[in-house]
Structure 1
């Protein structure tokens, strides 16, 4: 019988580790106390320690077909997101008996879940062929006041990744704190321009930015009416924190990598050398294989259980630690550059 790391990950394994932090947070919202700290410790430290100690990945799958249960897990994760953000999480943060330390711990745990698990799952959904699944993923982004990502990611990032035309590809030497506002505003504008071009070609097609912006305003209005100004403040804080997590993922996964420009002015096709991968098994399961990023760019429609690392092929950029650990490191620019810049230069060379 093959060892666990010699086999591809099953949907059941993805379900266990992707749902676990959300269920811990649900218990934290309902019962408080030690559940809050258990959720934060798992999201903010324990899983990263496991990946650092056991720095291995599971085997690549042998086929492209999505196994049964793939889409069901994505739907369950989206529903859990809505419950934690719009129902349980905000209500728990407003409980008067909750101490300040517990309140901050719950806020951090929720923000990490929304930015890492919900984002990875919504990213998966907006690439699915089903219109219903796309809308579900877009709804997750709308509730995080990041709806434009549903347009900018597919229409701009995937087309122009690792070129100056992509706002979400971090430049060599650029700190995350410079990248974050530049990429946020740049992706909003670039996605809007791409959607306007599509609508101009099809006059009967409404611009989805009306939904991205209108849906976000509607979410803020509902939270304000139901939970008051304090609830709105916590909601905006959670959305900002989650958006930082999302942008950290983009920053880390493409930092410093460039596509060569050909003599005719066009850029070379996107390949494995234009995304940083992370093979670590636990974060890959928790984030529905988002760390296998280069294969996603090569096959955007490939479902998460079918993504590959293909380590036996040509050398490709590999992060030294798991994606969550590298995202935390990216918040310290000097340390980040010390770790990553020489690796970037080796990949360029």
Structure 2
């Protein structure tokens, strides 16, 4: 699909949030509505399946948009901190709306875009994605996503795999802890073998640097704002991993290994607007099959497991475990049974 479509959907909240942070009033509420209610309505009311572009087309402009979104993220991080601490003159209700709006952008758009960048082979693009994660106090995901999640997806070795019957509340602390600690163990071993610096030094030092800058500019209120944004973004990222991999386990083989990953091991979403706003993070099966494929070229085919609602809507449902299990467990069984039948 044309990069211009992604640009309109993903850059609009950058503009609205910046205006809302400065002027408050109607604009701050519009920014929040755009990234929540309006996005949901467009997903559910307008049904469009946007086609993938050829992998070799539009690479320059796709990367250019990712760079623009990353730079916009850093600008919004500063603007958002000023807004929610009251430095721009917003009232309490406006500051709460600003926190939610900026937090949703960081958790949905910024992290999705950073995820895209850390899969790029260009060192500058990779570094930009890494620093977006670091600014969210989440730099270690640069390691754990590439070296744990992708190789071990849909198995117990993947920190982001929730077996069927696991609630989000049980999954969340375990996933966050395992991503942090198991990623560290991998990088520590690699650093010992290579003699190079463990990247966790950069992840930790960079996060401390961001917090020091926030303190220097806005005092402890600025630190609280950055920690709040980071925690909210991490919560949303963990939720997306939960939604996209719930229950779809790879088959264990007699030798202790697992069957190769397939399209049936990730949930996808056909909802067009949230896909555009989050640079196609919703097309997850094709991403796992082709991690280096540029986001406009990611494909969505009818045989891939589909979530019944958009990712943001499913995230709300997952907060109510009985409702989530009732909606999803039978779908998990159906997908795995179909995959088993195809193997037979």
2:243 aligned with 1:252, yes or no? yes
Structure 2, gaps ≥5 residues long: 338-344
After superposition, the C-alpha distances for 1:115-153 in whole angstroms (9 at most, x for unaligned) are 000011000000001011111000000000000000000
Which residue of the partner structure matches residue 98 of structure 2? 106
Which residue of the partner structure matches residue 183 of structure 1? 175
- The TM-score with structure 1 as length reference comes to 0.93
2:13 aligned with 1:11, yes or no? no
What is the correspondence of 1:208-287 to structure 2 with a 5 Å cutoff? 208-287=199-278
The answer (yes or no) to whether the contact 2:114–2:132 under 8 Å persists in 1 is yes
- The TM-score with structure 2 as length reference comes to 0.95
Correspondent of 2:320 among 315, 332, 336:
332
What is the correspondence of 1:127-138 to structure 2 with a 5 Å cutoff? 127-138=119-130
| Counterpart secondary structure, 1:305 | helix
2:282 aligned with 1:294, yes or no? no
After superposition, the C-alpha distances for 1:298-324 in whole angstroms (9 at most, x for unaligned) are 00001101100132xxx3210001111
Which residue of the partner structure matches residue 348 of structure 1? 336
2:25 aligned with 1:39, yes or no? no
Q: What is the aligned length?
A: 336
C-alpha distance in structure 1 between counterparts of 2:273 and 2:45, whole Å: 11
| Counterpart secondary structure, 2:248 | coil
The answer (yes or no) to whether the contact 1:64–1:302 under 8 Å persists in 2 is no
2:309 aligned with 1:321, yes or no? yes
Structure 1, gaps ≥5 residues long: 1-8
Deviates more, 1:61-70 or 1:291-300: 61-70
Which residue of the partner structure matches residue 131 of structure 2? 139
| Counterpart secondary structure, 1:135 | helix
TM-align CA RMSD:
1.3
After superposition, the C-alpha distances for 1:41-65 in whole angstroms (9 at most, x for unaligned) are 1111111111011233212334444
C-alpha distance in structure 2 between counterparts of 1:223 and 1:36, whole Å: 22
